[in-house]
A and B are shown apart, each in its own frame.
Chain A
């Protein structure tokens, strides 16, 4: 063998830069561009070059973000302007502007109208935005972490756990009247978290090699068990409790004031920060667990972190909104169609588009049949199902 420069990177963090950069070391390279005077032989282990390399890693594109912000703001503003109270749009905007610091506009709305805007419409819009963004983000994260395009936030039993929790609360609360009014969301949250812990406990007992599959199967088993427990409890109940639970399952945003927003904001905020921070790691998981490990990404730990964060956020969202389907699937897939397959784009954009989508869906839910209402879960599914078919056709074309 002909060892030319027996130099080894001394430490992995700062690999030695062979000073032989200037010497035309490898003119024989079959890949060396013929036109180039100085072949780039050793350059790539070397620091100090001045030019910005002409490569284009996946980045969030400005127009994707701008479109998302416009969509979100458009949905939110329309929602705050529209309502049976019939407050003129100009006065609503005036009232909102008057709350901005250092803006000296004074609106002359009645206290009731002010309450409609700030205690009914606004909290509902904010809650819808939080729930929508969380479900979309969690759905996208689950799809990445399980490398399964059909994964949704309820994959690991969140829905059935929350459903059981809410059912228990709705049955027990009338008997234990001293409990706080927010007991149903809290019970739903606890139920969701317990279900996912059970899923993990079951999934772990499976063979190590089939970690992901056994986790998903564990979710199926846990969901079946919790749903059966819920059905068993409900079967013994009065029709009034049944209708309340059914109402909750259909999903919806009924909020008074900012209490529910305060309740879920911490969880959703933490969860969102963690998940969006993991966006690159999700891309790394695309090469499979083994290869992710060889490039220094602990696939199992990433999966655990992402699943814990997504579950916590989903549980919080579900606890105040019930089970709103499809958001966790159609929003990430739409974003994927618009912005490409990288989670570096999908995750942040899912937050924006998910929030806008649910606010819009809630607006439709309460206006389409006004004064009657369509359950929010029905609206999202109604918009979602046909849309999903389009997505599927598109993705088939791409593949």
Chain B
């Protein structure tokens, strides 16, 4: 179950940490199932060990992050459908599915032979099991190592383990490079990431938060989060008092927020981040997903804006997505 995933993720994280966050990391895939691409293969996922009898050729991804990972490892040609929230890559065969369908029968016309899910709200895992369709449950990663782990799982399940090793090594190298270039400049600086104009934020225990933690940055939402919550709602007063050095707006698409509109909110013009021009827009989906594309986008944002601050934002890529993860 999920505990198993967390355990492997923790193991991978420990491996990564042992190599040093600024050193060149080796591929952080677990060797058990990545070593072979010969089918049948058994893959550990959020719903236990899943046995995949043969190389899947009709993959249905109901998770935007999984879609990113599939295309990153080169399994794109095997994909027959992605959910409506998968905005990257733009050419993926989007469907109307949400991943919250109440009956797995809805997916049968696509004749999928592998289904990827982020959530199991409507019992889909059990339903797909009854239909003998292998299903990987890949819940939101909260660490970078967790994301690597899921890339490795997807690669193993689709027969792309070798490529996955290369991809993960590349991402790890990019991360090291970004971290090196930032150095200690932002260590101890505070930031606020906004998912909604009503001041819903994310803590350092979220995926995006984990990335900023790597740079030594401090999340102002951490102190406001109560037990069990990683996306707390802050009060304006709290935000003004915390006075972050950096602001990342992940509500640019859903809610049309811009650095300008942020600064125009009552009392926010006094914020240090506003004065320094440290308010940066981020694509909503990118900020709430945990795939390779999200990572690379964040790296670019950090390289461009955090190290060489400028008032203009970086990567507000137009998208039809609503910003929900899934």
Chain A residues in contact with chain B, CB under 8 A?
83-86, 111-112, 115-116, 119-121, 124, 171, 174-175, 177-178, 181, 235-240, 243-244, 247, 252-257, 259, 365-366, 370-373
Contact segment of B20-28, B126-134, B150-158, B159-167: B126-134
Contact segment of B50-58, B70-78, B105-113, B268-276: B105-113
Chain B contacts for A86, CB-based, 8 A:
108-109
Q: Main SS of the interface on chain A?
A: loop
The 7 lowest CB-CB distance pairs between A and B, nearest first, are: A256-B126, A119-B130, A254-B122, A256-B127, A238-B231, A254-B102, A85-B108
Q: B105 contacts A254, CB within 8 Å?
A: no
Q: B121 contacts A83, CB within 8 Å?
A: no
Q: B132 contacts A112, CB within 8 Å?
A: yes
Contact segment of B32-40, B93-101, B178-186, B238-246: B93-101
Contact segment of B168-176, B222-230, B295-303, B313-321: B222-230
Q: A236 contacts B105, CB within 8 Å?
A: no
Q: A83 contacts B102, CB within 8 Å?
A: no
Q: A238 contacts B102, CB within 8 Å?
A: no
Closest beta carbon of chain B to A171's beta carbon, Å: 6
Chain B, range 192-237, C-beta contacts under 8 Å to A: 195, 200, 226, 228-233
Question: Which of A171, A177, A243 is the one whose CB lies under 8 Å from B1?
Answer: A177
Is B123's beta carbon under 8 Å from chain A?
yes
Closest beta carbon of chain B to A202's beta carbon, Å: 30
Q: B97 contacts A371, CB within 8 Å?
A: yes
Name A247's closest neighbour in chain B (CB-CB): B121
Q: List 12 A-B contacts (CB under 8 A).
A: A84-B108, A86-B108, A115-B132, A116-B131, A120-B127, A171-B228, A239-B231, A244-B119, A247-B121, A247-B122, A256-B126, A372-B96
Q: A112 contacts B108, CB within 8 Å?
A: yes
Question: Which of A120, A181, A365, A370 is the one whose CB lies under 8 Å from B131?
Answer: A120
Chain B contacts for A115, CB-based, 8 A:
130-132
Q: A116 contacts B105, CB within 8 Å?
A: yes
A121 CA to B106 CA in the complex, in Å?
A: 11
Q: B101 contacts A371, CB within 8 Å?
A: yes
Question: Which of B2, B121, B130 is the one whose CB lies under 8 Å from A244?
Answer: B121
Chain A contacts for B233, CB-based, 8 A:
235
A237 CA to B232 CA in the complex, in Å?
A: 7
Question: Which of B105, B123, B195 is the one whose CB lies under 8 Å from A84?
Answer: B105
Q: A366 contacts B103, CB within 8 Å?
A: yes
A254 CA to B100 CA in the complex, in Å?
A: 10
Question: Which of B1, B105, B122, B231 is the one whose CB lies under 8 Å from A83?
Answer: B105
Q: A120 contacts B97, CB within 8 Å?
A: no
Is B104's beta carbon under 8 Å from chain A?
yes
